[in-house]
Amino acid sequence: RGTKAMIDWPNVTASSYEELDLKPEELQRSKCVLGFIPVIYYSVLLCVGVPVNILTAVALCRLACRTKKPLYYYLLAVTGSDILSQLFIIFVGFLLETAVFHRDVPTVLLHVVSAAEFAANHASIWSTVPLTVDRYVALCHPLLHRQISYPARARKIIAAVLVLSLTSGVPFFWWSDVWRDSHPPSALDAVLIWTHVTIIYFLPCSIFLVLNSLIIRKLKIRQRQQPCQEERGPPRRLGKTTAMLLALTSVFSVLWAPRTVVVIYHLYVSSVHQDWRVHLAYDLSNMLAMLNTAVNFFLYCFVSRPFRSVVRDIMLLRGGPLHPRRPLPQQQAPTNASNSSLYSGNNKRSQRDSTPLSPRRNRKPS
């Protein structure tokens, strides 16, 4: 099989086909012009991305336990889903199945892994949606945010998103192997492809676009009203938090757009199996999309001073307060949701000046 894959098909005569006992679909199979580049790329991405995401998860876990802010729980869910995507899609799918075993494994196992890959992919993308909704409510409806946003509810929302993502991956058990299936996409393939691009791109990007536009509009209105306000600090923090959210959603939209276009092109114009140019575009678009699972750590470090501080403590093996000294009971969570996020082991002034990832705080009544 390795010898056949290296043959230059356009220069092989018809008699050679018969001598080599090649099937017609093998004669039309497109080449992987990138060679070993994807293997090297995914290996580096895995070796860098998994440790970085584990470090991110530990840091966010400390911040969530320390501040009790729903924001950190949502970011923790995004990080955990990225780790699952790296393990299932990059390690199992690309490296083990494709590079090591050359997909020479039982067909049922291929389909099971495919369903797990799509489930992890959906969880990674849709974990960002509750974060966007929470930021929209916090900035545009702060009074409502005090009542409905608290850690217990955030955990329930995250659990619901993970369950729905796992369920949404089941239909993709029947996803076709676009690299090796020689037949044109069937009606089932069309349904699965459109379901896939809707779930992973069109629907979440529409939500991001609408909510982010409303957030930006609200912030512009507040900037015009700023001269009438006594405090100028909070609007700046809101702008920095919004910048983080916009960066998260924008990076996702940019990195996943090529793959969405290539998959639709494969469905209607030319097959990945038959056209080496589509094959190349599909490989490159997958590499870009998977990059999205490893960039959030650097974004958090760039935006958030508390996150950098916690990461520094972890790297230097310095222990920090993992739990607040006075934990709030779950029964009081809806009432004290906004106030509970004010607590920190550090003094209030340093925390107020250095928390760009957090929503606008409400003053705790004395």
pLDDT higher than 60, residue 306? yes
pLDDT score at 227 = 63
Domain regions of the chain by residue span = 34-223+239-316
pLDDT of residue 348: 44
Question: What is the rounded average pLDDT of the residues 62-85?
Answer: 92
pLDDT at 28 over 80: no
pTM: 0.74
Instruction: Please name the residue ranges forming H helices in the chain.
Output: 2-5, 14-20, 24-27, 37-67, 70-85, 107-126, 128-140, 142-148, 151-168, 187-197, 203-225, 233-268, 276-291, 296-303, 305-315, 333-340, 348-353
Percent with pLDDT over 70 in the chain? 72
- Please compute the mean of the pLDDT values over residues 56-66 and round it to a whole number: 94
Residue 362, by phi and psi: left (phi above 0), alpha (psi -120 to 50) or beta? beta
Given this model, what pLDDT does residue 29 score?
59
Tell me the pLDDT of the chain averaged across its residues. Answer: 78
Residue from 343, 349, 351, 338 nearest 326 by CA: 343
Instruction: pLDDT band for 181, please (50, 70, 90 cuts).
Output: low
Give the DSSP H or E segment for 208: helix 203-225
Higher pLDDT pick, 361 / 189 = 189
pLDDT score of 75 more than 60? yes
Q: Topology of 34-223+239-316 in CATH? A: Rhopdopsin 7-helix transmembrane proteins (1.20.1070)
Query: Which of the four pLDDT bands, split at 50, 70 and 90, describes residue 97?
Result: confident
29-to-9, 65, 134, 272, 278 alpha-carbon distances in Å:
9, 53, 47, 9, 12
Kindly indicate the confidence band of residue 168, based on its pLDDT and cuts at 50, 70 and 90. Answer: very high
Can you give the pLDDT at residue 220?
83
Across the range 272-296, mean pLDDT stands at 88
Look at residue 229 in the predicted model and tell me its pLDDT: 54
Q: Please answer whether residues 266 and 282 qualify as being in contact, where contact means their C-beta atoms are separated by less than 8 angstroms.
A: yes
In this predicted model, what pLDDT tens digit does every residue of 210-237 receive, in sequence order? 999 999 888 888 878 766 555 554 444 4
Residue-level pLDDT at 107: 84
Provide the pLDDT for residue 32.
67
Q: Note whether 258 and 281 are within 8 A (CB).
A: yes
Over residues 120-150, the pLDDT tens digits come to 999 999 999 999 999 999 888 989 998 998 9
Question: pLDDT > 90: what percent of the chain?
Answer: 45
> Over 60: is that where the pLDDT of 90 sits?
yes
Whole-angstrom Cα distance, residue 352 to residue 255?
Answer: 34
